[in-house]
Chains A and B, each alone.
Chain A
Amino acid sequence: MAAPSENTSSGLMVKAVREGIFAGVIALGMFILYVGIETYQDIDNRLVWRTRWGLLAIFVAVAAIGRFLMVGVIKPHLDRRKLAKAKSGILEISEEKSFFHRHFLKIALIALLLYPMASVWLFGTQGSLKYVDNFGIQILIYVMLAWGLNIVVGLAGLLDLGYVAFYAVGAYSYALLSAHLGLSFWVLLPLAGILAALWGVILGFPVLRLRGDYLAIVTLAFGEIIRLVLINWTDVTRGTFGISGIKKASVFGIWSFDVGSPNYFPKAFGLATSSAYYKIFLFYVILALCLLTAYVTIRLRRMPIGRAWEALREDEIACRSLGINTVTTKLTAFATGAMFGGFAGSFFATRQGFVSPESFVFLESAVILAIVVLGGMGSLTGIAIAAVVMVGGTELLREMAFLKLVFGPDFTPELYRMLLFGLAMVIVMLFKPRGFVGTREPTAFLKERKVVSGSFTKEGHG
């Protein structure tokens, strides 16, 4: 036993070294132009280039050493562990779930409710701004958008690449109607949702006879059309300048967050003037909106319409053979998803106080779709986790000042956002091809609720 294992281990090292060198060569080939050479304009406005061999060497070394460790150390270790598990016989099928696992949702909800207080307590009123706004609100907006898109993509299986259009409709509905009609946030929030849903139906009607790739292309085009209209219809939307000075939301009209007003919220409670209170209020608003989205999604899944959505994802022809009107079923999915996009959009407008077409580019649609796919299509928990990881992760990059010590003072980690985003997606898709939560909860059961493995569910063909 000892001799062959020694033999294989030396063979393994040779293999690991070989693969490491190979990975290094590939990394060199990939990054030599992107990382190794940098172009910039000098004082005379000439385009000149300089080399960054040091940075390139780091990239290549990371790839080579990483591959070497993977092949030489980590993989054999994992294999040994797997073998040991298989040898020990009994598979642990019905392992008892941990306390944390069972009460995950309750714990997460309590943590979210306490989050703003905790950050005020830890970082002070002004210091909490960053954590409540940049992390909390930002992530929750994406959670809500992704949950809204989940109805269209995850449940009904309709690939929508233009979801950001409904987000834009919601945001501009709020911005324009509050500016021209002077209506308040609480009136315009449902109105923006209804308008977005209406646009969902208007888009859906001609488009839904298309399937799969064709549907994806047309929705993509629709997203761009909305953005171009917003840019070019300058009389109404003020084009690329955007609309600024959008009214802040109030606490149901009782307290306001405008510093000058008599019922200014912090003044009414004897607190110091700070914009942090507004952000904390907004945090709870978006949290409530997210919970509403989740509640409606969970309820709808148990209704005939929700089951029809999922059936549509599984097999459209079978749906038609069972007397389900696929056109109206698809339209309701589109409209419901668009409505939540509209809610999120009007919230976005009131939070920013400013909307411009720049916020509604295709990249946003792609990010939201990526969150849905990474999280596991149809799974609310998985999507929320994916939103925290992807959006929170990219926000976290801004905080990583220490990376400057490694890569030099002119290294800006934010610029590597998309690189890391892509890398994270590749890694997740390699290890969890169905997303973080690939299983499906059945909506009805006779004896026991068994989760449906991801290998049976389909992604839908449009």
Chain B
Amino acid sequence: MTPETNTMTPTITGDTILKVEHLSMKFGGLMAINDFSFEARRGDITALIGPNGAGKTTVFNCITGFYKPTMGMITLRQGDGREHLLERLKDFEITKSAKVARTFQNIRLFSGLTVLENLLVAQHNVLMKASGYTILGLLGLPTYKKAVGASIEKAKYWLDKADLTDRADDPAGDLPYGAQRRLEIVRAMCTGPELLCLDEPAAGLNPRESAALNTLLHSIRSEGVSILLIEHDMSVVMEISDHVVVLEYGQKISDGTPDHVKNDPKVIAAYLGVEDDEVDEVIAVELEGGDR
């Protein structure tokens, strides 16, 4: 990893994998994101948090190419130093060449395909090349057979990480909710990404499933993959993230370590500014998460 030469705020060290500069997204008259800039460092888990409707998923969709931003620049710097301007790439190219993979808030699995097939579809581009764009593969050349073997080994590796090996031959739609979440994450990992974007991975999980997810995320990070995640569950955010960016009404209001963000008066105002019962719950959850 070469040291980053870009100008950065002094608190941030290590090299940058994703740099979002002056990102704006307009839907008709609505400014969903307004001049939003942040950086994510290689090997870190960066969390993007904020109240409902703050524009977190919109930022995600801009980064992964599902939306074309109205203004701004999104730069992805790969481990070998190559840079990609994500706002200029098509959505599938962002995964294929820029090596950014994502999951969705509402799980999008291929429910009629088996768990193993889901992971093989994710290795489409590698297998396509190995099969000589189908033609050589139809002839049954050994290079393709070897690639298929390798892809199944890779799938097995991630199935083991996600604790899904026993369910490998079941249809993905048959899995319980928590397992579907994990499968979606390892499916994204099978594309071989450098940056993994997770949209609310812990939503709707019970505490046990949540713990299993944390283990999975840690093991992904130990592989050297950087993670960018949107999360509502403060216990997850505070426990696993290295760096937190807070978004409100499409604008960044805080950026820093979890401890810094937790004590930032602006964040407290955004989350706790209104007096109602929900706020107490949020505090309780946060304290609990902090204690663990």
Contact = CB atoms under 8 A, between A and B. Distances in A.
A384 interface: no
A2 B127 CA distance: 68
B169 A450 contact: yes
Contact of A322 (B124, B156, B171): B124
B95 interface: yes
Interface residues of A, number: 40
Q: Which of A299, A319, A321, A448 has the most CB of B within 10 A?
A: A321
Given A323-B92, A452-B114, A304 B108 contact: no
B102 A314 contact: no
Contact of A442 (B104, B114, B123): B114
Contacts of B113: 307, 310-311, 314, 442, 452
A446 B96 CA distance: 26
B156 A446 contact: yes
A307 B120 contact: yes
B174 interface: yes
Contact of A317 (B93, B108, B123): B108
Nearest to A326: B92
B160 to A, nearest CB: 11
A97 B91 CA distance: 47
A183 to B, nearest CB: 25
B227 to A, nearest CB: 16
B109 interface: yes
A51 interface: no
Given A314-B112, A456-B173, A321 B95 contact: yes
B96 A457 contact: no
B163 to A, nearest CB: 15
Interface stretch (B23-31, B131-139, B260-268): B131-139
Nearest to B96: A323
A362 to B, nearest CB: 30
B17 to A, nearest CB: 18
Contact of A456 (B134, B171, B188): B171
B87 to A, nearest CB: 16
A326 B66 CA distance: 13
B46 interface: no
A244 interface: no
A318 B109 contact: yes
Given A315-B108, A321-B102, A456-B171, A307 B95 contact: no
A444 B152 contact: yes
B121 A440 contact: no
A448 to B, nearest CB: 6
B112 A452 contact: yes
B36 interface: no
Interface in B153-181: 156, 165, 168-174
Interface string B59-102: 00000101000000000000000000000000111111000011
A304 B171 contact: no
A67 B128 CA distance: 56
B168 A446 contact: yes
Given A299-B138, A450-B170, A457-B111, 7 more contacts: A303-B131, A307-B121, A315-B108, A323-B191, A440-B112, A444-B120, A447-B169
Interface of A: 296, 299-300, 303-305, 307-308, 310-311, 313-315, 317-326, 332, 440, 442-450, 452-453, 455-458
12 contacts: A304-B124, A304-B128, A304-B134, A305-B134, A307-B117, A307-B120, A311-B110, A325-B92, A326-B92, A332-B134, A452-B114, A456-B173
